[in-house]
């Protein structure tokens, strides 16, 4: 158990001796049980598990020190709650309350494995006794997520014992601000929030901008549906973000930073607040940090519920206490941003990469990835995939490896249809391109983008026109409404898509969508509007046949759009049980005992009740 100190650190040497002290404290702990309390596992009751383990540790009369601690998201959310026992890194998955006693007795005290709680590879049946053996983790390269699942995010002591804030000490005491920027430039770090700008260039421009007051901002407004990378980092390792911002502020010459967290992430806000307070207590935030002349502090602000606030100028407007409306970027925010001052805004994951770059050097970082996309990227792999969760992989890995090797492929014997990347600003990538090497530029060439890292896998039952409709509707609700093309253009595109999915599509609709897409891209005020038509355009590009089927044949090939497919009873599978007949609200089904039932298509309202209630799966979607 590491006991916190209340003494302020006045020099890098102070930090070093603190690290040594913490590591010594740690070494007296013989066994540790780490329970994930990230939002996913917590939703399955992992907090209670943590409490039970704590109790067990306290009541144990073993003569070694045993500790239970709560940690942030491991990423393997599909298999939560996750419990890891040290030493040995034995990973247990889908742990329930009755398992706690057994784990404690067998593994913690006895050093034996509880086989049934280990991960079992569905393909080979092999059990993995360590995390590293699990395919989900084996292919990953966890650098930004390294601390997640190992350290307790609510205790700065753990971060420090793990080497945290060492990069800050190194930067402040042995590097000039320009040298810090040089390392980030050599690293080739590009923004992880979607824009993909070269981070060093941004920092340099901000540093060189006129004016003494400069701001650094962390964009924690992760709004893409299906993306939760930043949430995990903010919840599971908040100090990594703070340290990154400290180093950036030092390089740029800023004294004040802001972390803007979206309203829907209360746990992230809580952990960040704790982290900031603890960092202040020992002098890592505030005046004269580690005895240098560098002073910096951070304020946390929350969003009010608006996707558009992920856009940098909208975020700054929101930080100023205004509606989150973007503004023109003809004069960039590094020159005139928050409150009209030079401002450097970076995404959570971008900031979290910085300490690693300073610790191990820009060249080390540039050793991973592709020519123009260096380092690793955290993706959230969700949708129709066996292993949903967070994965961190080197840039340049193929989509296929991510989805099949790490993700375990598409479940229930269905086939892969497409993967949506880049959220509402991105596009879908079909099976024929699964071997694309994932990086900023390759995905863009295919008509999508990496975006913040959301990857939504879709199987054969997905209607791609509905996917376009879903994103368009989402964007229309989230549009700030300031500029004509986004506000009116999205409404027009949604109107057309509504007609298409209800069987009222007209010849020329696809072309009209293309015209509107071009108009939005050229004239919209901000990136939300400019990229708003991407989901539509990319689904047209790869799935034009589905649009044609909806428009020309009034038929939905994926059988998702109500009214654009029929229900029929499979005469061979039908057991004439009569359940569908009894439940049909419009009496459209006829049949007698032992005679296969029939649906009267003229009466049928396509409500799907028969599909829902048939116990023999004898209803077919046609």
Partner 1 sequence: MAEETNLVETIVDHYDGDEGMLIPMMQDLQAEYGYLPADGLRCLSKSLAMPLSRVYAVATFYSSFRLAPKGAHDVTLCMGTVCYLKGAPDILDAICKEFEVEAGGTTADRLFSLQGVNCVGACALAPVMVVDGKYYDGVTPASAIEILEDLSPAQESSDSNTKEDQA
Partner 2 sequence: MRNMLGYVPLLRNLEGVEGDNQVPTVTIDGKKVRVKKNATVLDAAKRAGIWIPTLCYHPSVSSEASCRLCMVELDRGEWRQLVTACNYPVRRDIVVYAYSEAAVRARRGVMELLLARAPESEELKALAAKMGIERTSYPTVTESQRSCILCGLCVSVCEQMIGQAAIGFAGRGVQRTVAAPFRLPAEDCIGCGACAAVCPVGTIKIRMHPDSNEIEISPFKSRFKLRLCEQCNSPIVSEKVAANALGKLDANNEELREILRLCPSCRSLRTAGQLAAMPGYDQE
| 263 belongs to the binding site for partner 1 (CB under 8 A) | yes
Give the count of alpha carbons within 13 A of 290, CB side only.
23
Q: What is the rounded CA–CA span in Å between residue 259 and residue 282?
A: 20
| 324 belongs to the binding site for partner 1 (CB under 8 A) | yes
Q: What is the rounded CA–CA span in Å between residue 141 and residue 375?
A: 10
Residue 267 partner contact from partner 2, partner 1, none using kind-dependent CB cut-offs of 5 to 8 Å: none
Residue 449 partner contact from partner 2, partner 1, none using kind-dependent CB cut-offs of 5 to 8 Å: partner 2
Among 266, 367, 508, 578, binds partner 1 (CB under 8 A): 266
Number of residues engaging partner 2 in binding (CB under 8 A): 47
Pairing of strands 297-302, 343-347: unpaired
Q: How far is CA 117 from the centre of its chain?
A: 27
- CA-wise closest residue to 493 among 452, 534, 460, 445: 534
Q: Which is nearer to partner 2, 97 or 511 (CB)?
A: 511
Contact 296, 250 (CB under 8 A): yes
| 372 belongs to the binding site for partner 2 (CB under 8 A) | no
The Cβ of residue 604 has, within 10 Å, a number of other Cβ atoms equal to 17
| 263 belongs to the binding site for partner 2 (CB under 8 A) | no
The one-character DSSP state at 103 is H
Piece of 63-71, 402-410, 440-448, 606-614 that binds partner 1 (CB under 8 A): 606-614
Q: Which is nearer to partner 1, 84 or 309 (CB)?
A: 309
Among 3, 212, 328, 507, binds partner 2 (CB under 8 A): 328
| 164 belongs to the binding site for partner 1 (CB under 8 A) | no
Q: Which is nearer to partner 2, 456 or 527 (CB)?
A: 527
Residue 305 CB, nearest distance to partner 1 (Å)?
A: 3
Q: In what order do the strands lie in the sheet with 297-302?
A: 297-302, 256-261, 215-220, 343-347
Residue 47 partner contact from partner 1, partner 2, none using kind-dependent CB cut-offs of 5 to 8 Å: none
Q: Which pair of tokens denotes residue 160?
A: 């420090």
| 26 belongs to the binding site for partner 2 (CB under 8 A) | no
Q: What is the rounded CA–CA span in Å between residue 209 and residue 254?
A: 12
Q: Which is nearer to partner 2, 291 or 481 (CB)?
A: 481
Q: What is the rounded CA–CA span in Å between residue 374 and residue 361?
A: 13
Piece of 84-92, 129-137, 519-527, 582-590 that binds partner 1 (CB under 8 A): 582-590
Residue 486 CB, nearest distance to partner 1 (Å)?
A: 15
Residue 301 partner contact from partner 2, partner 1, none using kind-dependent CB cut-offs of 5 to 8 Å: partner 1
Q: What is the rounded CA–CA span in Å between residue 446 and residue 541?
A: 10
Q: What is the rounded CA–CA span in Å between residue 4 and residue 216?
A: 29
The Cβ of residue 64 has, within 10 Å, a number of other Cβ atoms equal to 11
- CA-wise closest residue to 228 among 82, 375, 73: 73
Residue 332 CB, nearest distance to partner 1 (Å)?
A: 21
| 483 belongs to the binding site for partner 2 (CB under 8 A) | yes
Number of residues engaging partner 1 in binding (CB under 8 A): 27
Q: Which pair of tokens denotes residue 560?
A: 């998702």
Q: Which pair of tokens denotes residue 157?
A: 């002591």
Q: Which pair of tokens denotes residue 517?
A: 């897409």
Residue 201 partner contact from partner 1, partner 2, none using kind-dependent CB cut-offs of 5 to 8 Å: partner 2
Residue 264 partner contact from partner 1, partner 2, none using kind-dependent CB cut-offs of 5 to 8 Å: partner 1
Residue 562 CB, nearest distance to partner 1 (Å)?
A: 7
Contact 543, 462 (CB under 8 A): no
Interaction with partner 1 in 447-486: which residues (CB under 8 A)? 480
Interaction with partner 2 in 505-564: which residues (CB under 8 A)? 515-516, 519, 521-525, 527, 530-531
Residue 457 CB, nearest distance to partner 2 (Å)?
A: 22
* Token pair 């080197």 in the structure block, residue: 394
Does residue 111 come out as left (phi exceeding 0), alpha (psi in the -120 to 50 range) or beta? left
Query: In the complex, which residues of this chain contact partner 1 (CB under 8 A)?
Result: 263-264, 266, 301-306, 318-324, 480, 562, 583, 585-586, 605-609, 613
Query: In the complex, which residues of this chain contact partner 2 (CB under 8 A)?
Result: 195-198, 201-202, 205, 306, 323, 327-332, 334-335, 444, 449, 476-485, 487-489, 491-492, 494-495, 515-516, 519, 521-525, 527, 530-531
């Amino acid at each position: 158990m590491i006991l916190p100190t209340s003494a302020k650190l006045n020099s890098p040497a102070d930090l070093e001796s603190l690290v040594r002290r913490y590591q010594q404290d740690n070494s007296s702990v013989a066994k540790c049980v780490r329970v994930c309390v990230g939002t996913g596992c917590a939703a399955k009751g992992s907090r209670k598990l943590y409490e039970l383990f704590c109790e067990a540790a306290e009541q144990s009369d073993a003569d070694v020190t045993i500790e239970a601690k709560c940690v942030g998201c491991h990423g393997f959310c599909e298999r939560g709650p996750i419990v890891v026992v040290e030493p040995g890194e034995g990973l247990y998955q889908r742990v329930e309350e009755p398992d706690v006693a057994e784990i404690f007795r067998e593994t913690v005290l006895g050093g034996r494995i509880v086989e049934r709680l280990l991960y079992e590879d569905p393909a080979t049946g092999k059990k993995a006794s360590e995390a590293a053996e699990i395919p989900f983790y084996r292919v990953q390269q966890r650098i930004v997520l390294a601390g997640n699942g190992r350290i307790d995010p609510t205790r700065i002591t753990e971060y420090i014992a793990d080497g945290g804030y060492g990069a800050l000490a190194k930067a402040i005491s042995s590097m000039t601000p320009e040298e810090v920027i040089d390392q980030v430039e050599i690293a080739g770090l590009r923004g992880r929030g979607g824009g993909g700008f070269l981070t060093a260039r941004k920092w340099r421009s901000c540093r060189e901008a006129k004016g003494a007051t400069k701001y650094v901002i962390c964009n924690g407004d992760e709004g893409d549906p299906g993306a939760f990378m930043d949430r995990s980092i903010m919840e599971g390792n908040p100090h990594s973000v703070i340290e990154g911002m400290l180093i950036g502020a030092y390089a740029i010459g800023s004294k004040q930073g802001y972390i803007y967290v979206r309203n829907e992430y209360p746990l992230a806000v809580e952990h960040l607040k704790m982290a900031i307070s603890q960092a202040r207590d020992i002098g890592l935030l505030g005046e004269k940090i580690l005895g240098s002349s560098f002073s910096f502090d951070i304020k946390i602000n929350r969003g009010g519920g608006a996707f558009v606030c992920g856009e940098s100028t909208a975020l700054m407007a929101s930080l100023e206490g205004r509606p989150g409306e973007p503004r023109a970027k003809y004069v960039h925010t590094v020159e005139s941003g928050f409150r009209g001052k030079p401002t450097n805004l970076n995404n959570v994951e971008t900031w979290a990469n910085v300490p690693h770059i300073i610790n191990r050097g820009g060249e080390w970082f540039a050793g991973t990835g592709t020519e123009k996309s260096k380092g690793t990227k955290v993706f959230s792999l969700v949708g129709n995939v066996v292993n949903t969760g967070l994965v961190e992989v080197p840039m340049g890995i193929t989509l296929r490896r991510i989805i099949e090797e790490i993700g375990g492929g598409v479940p229930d014997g269905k086939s892969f249809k497409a993967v949506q990347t880049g959220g509402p600003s991105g596009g879908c990538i079909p099976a024929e391109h699964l071997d694309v090497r994932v990086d900023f530029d390759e995905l863009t060439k295919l008509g999508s983008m990496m975006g913040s890292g959301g990857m939504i896998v879709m199987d054969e039952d997905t209607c791609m026109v509905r996917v376009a409709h879903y994103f368009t509707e989402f964007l229309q609700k989230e549009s700030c409404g300031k500029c004509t093309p986004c506000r009116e253009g999205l409404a027009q595109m949604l109107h057309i898509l509504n007609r298409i999915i209800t069987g009222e599509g007209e010849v020329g609709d696809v072309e009209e969508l293309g015209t509107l897409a071009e108009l939005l891209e050229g004239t919209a005020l901000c990136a939300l509007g400019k990229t708003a038509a991407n989901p539509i355009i990319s689904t047209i590009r790869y799935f034009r046949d589905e649009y044609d089927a909806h428009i020309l044949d009034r038929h939905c090939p994926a059988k998702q759009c109500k009214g654009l497919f029929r229900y029929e009873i499979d005469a061979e599978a039908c057991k004439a049980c009569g359940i569908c007949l009894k439940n049909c609200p419009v009496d459209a089904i006829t049949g007698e005992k032992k005679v296969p039932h029939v649906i009267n298509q003229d009466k049928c309202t396509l409500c799907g009740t028969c599909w829902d209630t048939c116990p023999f799966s004898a209803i077919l979607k046609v």
